[in-house]
C-alpha cells in the first residue's frame, strides 16, 4: 500500500504507544453510555484528535488522547445521571472513521 506524504508524516510523528492508547479509548467508547451534553463534548475532543492525527502533531495527539481518557473518568462519575445513551449515530460514525484512520498503519 502506497502512502502519500500526508499519511507518512502523521505516522512518523505519532508513536505507536500513543496510537495504541488512543485506539484503546476509542474502541472502549463504543460501549459507553452518557448524557447528550457529554457526547457533545466527546465529539469536540474526537474531532481534535482526528485533526492532530491528520496534522501529524504527536504532542497534540497525546494531549487529545489524555482529554478523552479524562472524559471517560468524568462519564464514570456521572453514573447516577438519567438520560444516558450509547454514542449517537453521528458520533458513532466519526468514532468508526477515526478508529479506521488511526488503526490502519
pLDDT tens, 15-63? 999 999 999 999 999 998 888 888 999 999 999 999 999 999 999 999 9
The candidate with the shortest Cα–Cα distance to 25, out of 77, 79, 64, 58, is 64
- Global confidence as pTM: 0.80
Query: In the numeric block, which cell numbers belong to residue 59?
Result: 504532542
The reported pLDDT for the residue numbered 35 is 87
Domain ranges for the chain: 5-103
Locate all alpha helices (DSSP H) within the chain, ordered by sequence: 5-13, 16-29, 36-55, 58-77, 89-103
* Residue 105 pLDDT: 62
> Residue with C-alpha cell 479509548?
25
Label residue 9 by pLDDT band (50, 70, 90): very low
> What are 53's three cell numbers?
492525527
Amino acid at each position: 500500500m502506497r502512502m502519500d506524504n500526508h499519511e507518512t508524516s502523521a505516522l512518523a510523528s505519532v508513536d505507536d504507544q500513543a496510537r495504541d492508547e488512543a485506539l484503546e479509548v476509542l474502541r472502549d467508547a463504543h460501549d459507553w453510555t452518557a448524557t447528550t451534553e457529554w457526547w457533545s463534548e466527546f465529539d469536540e475532543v474526537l474531532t481534535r484528535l482526528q485533526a492532530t492525527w491528520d496534522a501529524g502533531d504527536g504532542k497534540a495527539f497525546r494531549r487529545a488522547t489524555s482529554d478523552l481518557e479524562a472524559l471517560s473518568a468524568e462519564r464514570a462519575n456521572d453514573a447516577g445521571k438519567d438520560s444516558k445513551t450509547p454514542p449517537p449515530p453521528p458520533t458513532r460514525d466519526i468514532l468508526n472513521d477515526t478508529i479506521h484512520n488511526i488503526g490502519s498503519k
